[in-house]
């Protein structure tokens, strides 16, 4: 028996602060007869009894007008509005922020790019049809006369029960290819499967992917999806050829292997999602599609450069120089793609070696600052790798021999 009303779950799963806000909104909605709803991820997660991360409220009508009324009548503040979309962000007590959106219709005049809003304040039934999956299109009424009533125009409840991800229309992935990655995210996070038709439409898109698309959305979804740190995500990405969204070819890498090496170096890794993405990339041009931040770009470029060059030396100093200054993410991508054991030798052993002498020490020993400093440090490092130097005193003795030679 499917639930008809979500009041009980709202009571049970939302924090006391969030509940207070929802009931306040409900009360205010009655004053000027706004109809307000929860729609999207929050409804899905309430029905699945999962952690509620954020709450979005949809207003049938003008969300900005509703929020102005809310601001007049309750203890909250509008902190941002977008007039063309008729959306508002409101800050409540305890710093809780909630996004309010007007019901809207959207079109995709340029396939794969951000949609254009063609109407705000439309019927809820039209609003839900612009969305990605049926399980994200269920609404819950919040007005006092119908509080908690579930409104399911697309069969989302049935799909939720059957653990199925179903898009709402044939052009959904063409309109917004980031939905393919969202499908991967939800299938992994929730343990759901794509329905047959949806799978077919995904395959069709991936046979001939349009790359003139909004890379901002693709990047954001890849970041969220790979941040799940799940071996399954990578395996499915390769099996289902989802990598074709951004690359014609990929490397054959096992998700578990990536997961294991990430676990080993977990405390040092800041961008684990980039490791999952990096092992899939086979050429540098692909990197240019994304609007990467400078450090993200550096990580991926360094990794692909290292793969291109390879590290075939047996000499500790040369191996050290190959990896020196590279991020842990780049080195792990290089290792996973090339299986070159020098990366492990560097991470486990060689990077612990270092020169204790400083530039100031060299000045006090009478060396003029310049390029020769680098050469001196390198000579010391070589001696350390050879086992001839073990501490700073021995470094100083060695430097003196250089000076006298």
- CA separation for the pair 177, 211 (Å, rounded): 9
Nearer to ligand CTP, 136 or 330 (CB): 136
The answer to the question of residue 178 lying near ligand CTP (CB under 6 A) is yes
Q: Least CB distance from residue 186 to ligand CTP, whole Å?
A: 8
| Tokens of residue 116, six digits | 């254009």
Which H or E run contains 35? strand 35-39
Please give the size of the binding site for ligand CTP, defined by CB under 6 A: 12
Give Cα 152 distance to the centre of its chain: 29
Residue with tokens 């409804």: 43
Stretch that binds ligand CTP, among 138-146, 175-183, 232-240, 291-299 (CB under 6 A): 175-183
Nearest residue relative to ligand CTP (C-beta): 41
Q: x/- contact string, 135-174, with ligand CTP (CB under 6 A)?
A: -xx-------------------------------------
Closest CA to 37 of 53, 18, 61: 61
Residue (246 or 398) nearer to ligand CTP, CB: 246
- The one segment of 25-33, 178-186, 190-198, 277-285 that binds ligand CTP by CB under 6 A: 178-186
Q: Which is nearer to ligand CTP, 225 or 330 (CB)?
A: 225
User: Which one, 183 or 304, has the nearer CB to ligand CTP?
Assistant: 183
Nearer to ligand CTP, 224 or 229 (CB): 224
User: Least distance to ligand CTP from the beta carbon of 304, Å?
Assistant: 29
Minimum CB distance to ligand CTP smaller for 15 or for 256:
15
Binding mask 347-376 for ligand CTP (x = CB under 6 A): ------------------------------
Place of tokens 């304040």: 121
User: Which of residues 132 and 395 has its CB atom nearest to ligand CTP in the complex?
Assistant: 132
Which DSSP category does 4 fall into? S
Q: Name residues contacting ligand CTP, limited to 36-65 (CB under 6 A).
A: 40-41, 53
Nearest to 210 by CA among 290, 286, 277, 112: 112
Sign of dihedral through CA atoms 65, 67, 68, 72? positive
Cβ atoms of residues 385 and 320 within 8 Å: yes
The least CB distance from residue 41 to ligand CTP, in Å, is 2
- Is the sign of the CA dihedral 365, 366, 367, 368 positive or negative? positive
Q: Tell me how far apart the alpha carbons of residues 349 and 316 are, in angstroms, rounded to a whole number.
A: 10
Binding to ligand CTP in span 99-138, by CB under 6 A: 131-132, 136-137
What residues numbered 200-239 form the site for ligand CTP, per CB under 6 A?
A: 224
Backbone phi, psi, residue 147, to 5°: -50, 125
Q: Are strands 56-60 and 97-102 parallel, antiparallel or unpaired?
A: parallel
Phi-psi region of 190 (alpha: psi -120 to 50; beta: other; left: phi over 0): alpha
Nearer to ligand CTP, 182 or 384 (CB): 182
If you ran DSSP here, which 8-state letter would residue 60 be given?
E
Interacting residues with ligand CTP (CB under 6 A): 40-41, 53, 131-132, 136-137, 176, 178-179, 182, 224
């Amino acid at each position: 028996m499917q639930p008809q009303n979500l009041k009980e779950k709202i009571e049970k799963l939302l924090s006391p602060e969030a509940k207070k806000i929802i009931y306040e909104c409900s009360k205010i909605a009655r004053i000027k007869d706004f109809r307000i709803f929860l729609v999207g991820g929050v409804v899905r997660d309430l029905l699945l009894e999962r952690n509620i991360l954020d709450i979005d409220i949809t207003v049938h009508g003008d969300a900005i007008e509703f929020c102005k009324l809310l601001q007049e009548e309750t203890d909250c503040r509008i902190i941002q509005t977008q007039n063309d979309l008729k959306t508002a962000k409101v800050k409540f007590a305890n710093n809780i922020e909630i996004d309010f959106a007007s019901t809207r219709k959207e079109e995709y005049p340029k396939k794969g790019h951000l949609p254009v809003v063609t109407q705000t304040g439309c019927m809820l039934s039209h609003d839900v049809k612009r969305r990605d999956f049926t399980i994200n299109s269920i609404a819950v009424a919040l007005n006092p006369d119908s509080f908690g009533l579930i409104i399911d125009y697309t069969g989302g409840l049935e799909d939720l029960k059957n653990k199925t991800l179903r898009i709402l229309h044939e052009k959904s992935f063409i309109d917004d290819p980031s939905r393919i990655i969202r499908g991967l995210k939800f299938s992994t996070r929730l343990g759901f499967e794509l329905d047959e038709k949806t799978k077919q439409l995904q395959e069709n898109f991936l046979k001939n992917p349009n790359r003139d698309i909004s890379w901002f959305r693709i990047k954001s979804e890849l970041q969220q999806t790979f941040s799940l740190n799940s071996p399954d995500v990578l395996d499915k990405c390769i099996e289902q050829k989802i990598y074709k969204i951004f690359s014609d070819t990929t490397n054959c890498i096992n998700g578990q292997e990536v997961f294991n090496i990430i676990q080993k170096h977990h405390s040092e890794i800041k961008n684990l999602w980039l490791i999952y993405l990096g092992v899939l990339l086979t050429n540098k041009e692909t990197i240019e599609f994304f609007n990467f931040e400078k450090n993200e770009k550096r990580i991926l470029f360094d990794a692909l450069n290292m793969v291109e060059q390879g590290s075939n030396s047996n000499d500790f100093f040369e191996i050290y120089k190959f990896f020196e200054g590279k991020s842990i993410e780049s080195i792990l991508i290089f290792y996973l793609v090339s299986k070159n054991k020098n990366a492990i030798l560097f991470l486990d052993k060689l990077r612990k070696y270092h020169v204790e002498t400083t530039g100031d020490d060299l000045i006090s020993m009478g060396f003029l600052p310049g390029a020769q400093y680098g050469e001196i440090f390198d000579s010391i490092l070589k001696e350390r790798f050879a086992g001839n130097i073990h501490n700073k005193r021995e470094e100083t003795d060695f430097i003196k021999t250089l000076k006298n030679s």
